[in-house]
């Protein structure tokens, strides 16, 4: 198709950074389907299907399970701004960028963040949450990041969920880099609010934030003394369009993005959640074996490493900025830089959704071996690919 | 392409409602282009082009001219939440749904809305704004809707712009249903902040909100005593990604939507703004002539009727809900219902962007004539199409 001034298309990239991840052709196709109106009966049917599939993905029966019309950070803001009122104490686990962002947003909601910090690369210890819950009671909510995209840490949630019920506190979980890639059980783990983004393990373009809100959180919303400070993110208004049979217009839904999410959710259901988690796990293990053979050091503590996002320090003496640039320019592979204290010290490699394939792991390890060999940083190639090959490839993809 | 369960595609619709409007095939194609990362140098080039073209469209030199990652209502909230602080007086013109929405958002920002009301269908009189500016000085901002989507009223802005400068007050303009369809001159009319949506006259899918913020408004933002209550919509953070050469990550940009906006803006520039405005004008006149021949009554006062969105009361005795349903089900044509006090009393017909063609005007008028004839509401068909045909078709489309 002719484009203006014969403008070139964007370059082809293999997206192995912290998101966006690769998008399945069926999802790309869904984005290009002609639009219908946001109040068209046919669109209401699509909304129902999206909500049903999102509930199954979050493993929840929450009726209020919807995509917020913004990116993952809009989901974070929606999760907080609806429940936090002026002066509310909120315990926030901070062990990376996204915990810090949660705390910043709690403050902007007029809340009082109580930071529970761990070094970058370590989990938030449930005992520290328990101590804070006792010390600062009553606490409105505990907010933690399930998959810390800045460090690759996999936060265990079940103990924290039990603690929150015991202390009658809401549990808010950032599932941006976990939903559809790692086991997540909103109802089973006593999570009251969880949010995510579409451009990670769902492999949909960025622009929507799946959000689920349970009955305990809804009760807190209903008993607010002041209206939610955001009109755009006020779920009591949004629910009248998405959940209630009234279908009252709130804002124009991002039609094409909803088409894409619908198709991405169908792909998830066709694969099956257990198979999808297993695929992410085996490809992650293959990548980690290869990186280990090349001398990379994981930032996340042992036993708490994500299988969706890998944060590794390159071997000493490697120019990390040169490495990322060369991967992008010579091989068309995008990976992510370190953030905050890890800037200049780490790479972030995502194997999320469609990006999590054995072929992509091999493409990246093969490129790294060639680059390192050409620079004289290794003496012969093959060790990383061999190490990856020793990890059994059980996944169907 | 196979889709899950051989799921059917959404039905084909001719979108002549208040948005979304029809989307050009080149824009649909742009939505399906494989993604690159939001920090990829190639994406930064696309961002620069989008900003340059948006400035030209808004007729502004404002460096901070960007698409907000949400729909038009997110643009409204961004326009207000960045400048309004607790206790600020804000004069709000209210003559329809979107003026009321502005006032509701001012309150949620902690501001003090001063409503200047006109009956639905009438403009906000500049004299009333002048009186309020004197009486309530100092006033932080005046907020008005350029094109009131709920009534079809076209608000004149130049006098209000001069008044705001005289009283050293910011002028905030809702250009959701005007940008790219009606003349709008942000710098020439002394507008400090304007926002829009992509799904109206830009004919892009919904999901982005073009926003421009001028130097006087930026000065107000810089001198805030408290941080913006929204982290997601805080333009001082967003500008570090969009405008500053730092390109600091804030949130993941909605890549595919930006691709689409880029292509939609190219189409606008290929047509030329004057030709585009003329096309909207002549097709609107043809529609209005046809509706008049059928006995429809315009809601908006004479001399202040939009050429992008037409709000008309059907002739007495016509079942308006049956009419809309029949248009959708029998003819695949979507039009909009009346809102608020116009519920059950008016239709809203959009001729925006790609939807504004003579063929679409004829399709709608022809369908209405057939429907009215079959019901015995008119004795013979042809008058509406004849009336429309008498309006010269000067537009290229």
B209 domain residue, yes or no: yes
Last residue of a domain, one of A269, A302, A334: A269
Radius of gyration over alpha carbons of chain B, in Å? Answer: 21
A172 neighbors A321 (Cβ within 8 angstroms): no
Q: Of A214, A240, A269, which closes a domain?
A: A269
Per-residue three-class SS string for A179-205: CCCCCCCCCCCCCCEEECCCCCCCCCC
Phi, psi dihedrals of residue A29, rounded to the nearest 5° = -60, -40
CATH number of the domain that B127 lies in? 3.40.640.10
* Cβ contact A202:A179 at 8 Å: yes
Per-residue pLDDT of chain B (397 residues; tens, 9 = 90+): 445 556 788 999 999 999 999 999 999 999 999 999 999 999 999 999 999 999 999 999 999 999 999 999 999 999 999 999 999 999 999 999 999 999 999 999 999 999 999 999 999 999 999 999 999 999 999 999 999 999 999 999 999 999 999 999 999 999 999 999 999 999 999 999 999 999 999 999 999 999 999 999 999 999 999 999 999 999 999 999 999 988 999 999 999 999 999 999 999 999 999 999 999 999 999 999 999 999 999 999 999 999 999 999 999 999 999 999 999 999 999 999 999 999 999 999 999 999 999 999 999 999 999 999 999 999 999 999 999 999 987 655 4
Cα first-last separation, chain A: 32
CA distance B299 to A274: 57
Q: Which structure tokens are listed for A230?
A: 């955001």
Evaluate whether residue B21 is within a structural domain.
Answer: no
How far apart are alpha carbons B19 and A153 in whole angstroms? 43
For residue B251, the chain A residue with the least C-alpha distance is A73
CB contact under 8 A, A73 and B206: no
| Identity of the residue in B11, B256, B267 whose CB atom sits nearest the CB atom of A205 | B256
Residue B394 resides in a domain:
no
- Is residue A249 domain-resident? yes
Residues 125-154 of B with CB under 8 A from A: none
**DSSP secondary structure letter of residue A87:** T
Considering the domain architecture, whether residues A243 and A333 belong to the same structural domain is answered as no
Distance of alpha carbon A211 from alpha carbon A233, whole angstroms: 11
Q: Which of B23, B231, B347 to mutate to test the interface with A (most CBs of A within 10 A)?
A: B231
Smallest Cβ distance to A230: which of B19, B72, B108? B108
Produce one character per residue of A144-174: b if its CB has 16 or more CB atoms within 10 Å, e if not.
Answer: bbbbbbbbbbbbbbeebbebbeebebbbbbb
Question: What is the pLDDT at residue A8?
Answer: 80
Picking from B269, B290, B318, the residue at the C-terminal end of a domain is: B269
How distant, in Å, are the alpha carbons of A241, A273, A348 from that of A73?
Answer: 22, 25, 19
Question: Are residue B286 and residue B362 in the same domain, yes or no?
Answer: yes
Tell me, yes or no, whether B138 and B249 share the same domain: yes
pTM exceeds 0.90 for this model: yes
Three-state secondary-structure class, residue A115? strand
Token pair for A106: 């709690």
Q: N- to C-terminal Cα distance for chain B? A: 32
Q: Is A298 helix (H, G, I), strand (E, B) or coil?
A: strand
Closest of A80, A251, A257, A240 to residue B232, by C-alpha: A80
Encode pLDDT of B135-148 as tens digits. 999 999 999 999 99
Give the closest residue to A367 by CA, choosing from A328, A331, A316: A331
* Of the candidates A95, A200, A223, the residue with the CA atom closest to the CA atom of residue A155: A95
d(CA B33, CA A260) in angstroms, rounded, equals 13
Contact B232 A9 (CB under 8 A): no
Give the C-alpha distances (Å, rounded to integers) separating A364 from A117, A326, A375, B130. 33, 12, 17, 65
Report yes or no: A355 at the B interface, CB cutoff 8 Å: no
Which residue in B351, B261, B105, B241 sits closest to A254, CA to CA?
B261
- C-alpha span between B172 and B170 (Å, rounded): 6
Residue B132 and residue B87: Cα distance in Å, rounded? 17
Q: Are residues A42 and A110 in the same domain?
A: yes
Residue A47 located in a structural domain: yes
**DSSP state, residue A342:** G
- A339, with CB counted inside 10 A (0-12, 13-18, 19+), is buried
Distance between CA atoms of residues B116 and B112, nearest Å: 13
Let me know whether A262 and A279 are in one domain.
Answer: no
The confidence score (pLDDT) of residue B1 equals 44
Minimum-distance CB partner of A255 among B20, B109, B269: B20
Are A208 and A260 found together in one domain?
Answer: yes
CB-based contact, A272 to chain B, within 8 Å:
no
In whole angstroms, give the CA distance from residue B21 to residue B19: 5
Residue of B29, B251, B264 for testing the chain A interface, max A β-carbons within 10 Å: B251
Confidence at residue A313, expressed as pLDDT on a 0 to 100 scale? 98
Closest CA to A73 of A226, A224, A177: A177
Among the listed residues A101, A113, A126, A147, the one whose alpha carbon sits nearest the alpha carbon of residue A306? A147
Within a domain: residue B12?
no
CB B53 within 8 A of CB B233: no
**Contacts with A79 from chain B: Cβ below 8 Å:** none
Residue A263 has phi, psi (to 5 degrees) of -70, -40
Q: Verify that B236 and B185 share a domain, yes or no.
A: yes
CB contact under 8 A, B36 and A15: yes
Residues A336 and A248 in one domain: no
A249 CB within 8 Å of a chain B CB? yes
CB atoms within 10 A of CB A96: 28
Spell out which residues of chain A touch residue B77, defining contact as CB-CB under 8 Å: 230-232
Closest Cβ–Cβ partner in B11, B256, B339 for A42: B11
Shared domain check, B304 and B383 = yes
B236 touches chain A (CB under 8 A): no
User: SS3 letters for chain B?
Assistant: CCCHHHCCCCCCCEECCCCCCCCCHHHHHHHCCCCCCCCCHHHHHHHHHHHHHHHHHHCCCCCEEEEECCCHHHHHHHHHHCCCCCCCEEEEEECCHHHHHHHHHHHHCCCEEEEEECCCCCCCCHHHHHHHHHHCCCCCEEEEECEECCCCEECCCHHHHHHHHHCCCEEEEECCCCCCCCCCCCCCCCCCEEECCCCCCCCCCCCCEEEEECHHHHHHHHCCCCCCCCCCCCHHHHHHHHCCCCCCCCCCCCHHHHHHHHHHHHHHHHHCHHHHHHHHHHHHHHHHHHHHHCCCEECCCCCCECCCEEEEECCCCCCHHHHHHHHHHHHCEECEECCHHHCCCCEEEECCHHHCCHHHHHHHHHHHHHHHHHCCCCCCCCHHHHHHHCCCCCCCC
CA distance A211 to A196: 7
In a domain, A1, yes or no: no
Side-chain-facing half-sphere of A52: CA atoms under 13 Å: 9
Residue A164 sits in the same domain as residue A195:
yes
Q: Count of CB atoms within 10 A of residue B24's CB? A: 17
CATH code of B294's domain: 3.90.1150.10
Contacts 24+ apart (CB under 8 A), A361-364: A361/A283, A361/A286, A361/A287, A361/A290, A361/A388, A362/A388, A363/A14, A363/A331, A363/A333, A364/A14, A364/A16, A364/A287, A364/A327, A364/A333, A364/A335
Whether B93 and B195 map to the same domain: the answer is: yes
Tell me how close the Cα of A92 comes to any Cα of chain B, in angstroms. Answer: 16
Give the structural domain span for B321: 272-389
CA A383 to each of CA A319, A326, A359: distance values in angstroms, whole numbers, following the listed order: 21, 21, 16
Same structural domain for residues A254 and A276? no
Burial group, residue B278, by CB count within 10 angstroms (0-12, 13-18, 19+): middle
Query: What count of other Cβ atoms lies within 10 Å of the Cβ of residue B272?
Result: 11
A192/A58 Cα distance (integer angstroms): 11
Provide the domain count of chain A: 2
What string of H, E and C letters represents the secondary structure of B295-322?
CCEECCCCCCECCCEEEEECCCCCCHHH
Instruction: Report yes or no on A17 lying in a domain.
Output: no
Mean pLDDT, chain A cut into blocks of 10 residues (397 residues total): 64 97 98 96 96 98 98 98 98 97 97 98 98 98 98 98 98 98 98 98 98 98 97 97 92 97 98 98 98 98 98 95 97 97 97 98 98 94 95 68
Q: Are B62 and B188 in contact (CB under 8 A)?
A: no
């Amino acid at each position: 198709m002719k484009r203006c001034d014969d403008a070139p298309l964007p370059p082809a990239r293999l997206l192995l950074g912290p998101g966006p991840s690769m998008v399945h052709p069926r999802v790309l196709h869904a984005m290009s389907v002609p639009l219908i109106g946001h109040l068209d009966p046919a669109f209401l049917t699509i909304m129902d299907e999206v909500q049903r599939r999102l509930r199954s993905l979050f493993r929840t029966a929450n009726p209020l399970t919807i995509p917020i019309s913004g990116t993952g950070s809009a989901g974070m803001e929606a999760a907080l701004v609806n429940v936090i009122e002026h002066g509310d104490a909120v315990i926030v686990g901070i062990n990376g960028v996204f915990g810090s962002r949660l705390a910043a947003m709690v403050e902007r909601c007029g809340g009082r963040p109580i930071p529970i910090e761990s070094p970058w690369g370590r989990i938030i210890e449930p005992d520290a949450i328990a101590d804070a819950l006792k010390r600062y009671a009553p606490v409105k909510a505990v907010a933690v990041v399930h998959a810390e995209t800045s460090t690759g840490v996999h936060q265990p949630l079940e103990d924290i969920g039990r603690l929150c019920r015991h202390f009658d506190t809401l549990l808010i979980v950032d599932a941006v880099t976990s939903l559809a890639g790692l086991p997540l059980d909103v109802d089973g783990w006593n999570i009251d609010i969880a949010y995510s983004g579409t451009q990670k393990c769902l492999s949909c373009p960025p622009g929507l934030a799946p959000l689920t809100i349970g009955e305990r959180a809804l009760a807190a919303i209903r008993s607010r003394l002041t209206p939610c400070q955001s009109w755009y993110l006020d779920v009591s208004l949004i629910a009248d369009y998405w959940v209630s049979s009234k279908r009252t217009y709130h804002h124009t839904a991002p039609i094409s993005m909803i088409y894409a999410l619908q198709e991405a959710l169908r792909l998830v259901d066709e694969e099956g959640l257990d198979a999808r988690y297993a695929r992410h796990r085996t490809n992650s293990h293959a990548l980690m074996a290869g990186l280990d053979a090349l001398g990379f050091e994981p930032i996340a503590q042992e036993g708490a490493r994500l299988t969706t996002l890998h944060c590794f320090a390159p071997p000493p003496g490697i120019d990390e900025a040169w490495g990322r640039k060369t991967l992008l320019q010579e091989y068309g592979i995008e990976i992510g830089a370190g953030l905050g204290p890890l800037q200049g010290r780490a790479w972030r490699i995502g194997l999320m959704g469609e990006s999590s394939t054995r072929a992509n792991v091999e493409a990246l390890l093969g490129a790294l071996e060639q680059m390192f060999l050409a620079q004289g940083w290794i003496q012969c190639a093959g060790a990383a690919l061999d190490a990856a090959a020793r990890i059994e490839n059980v996944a169907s993809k």
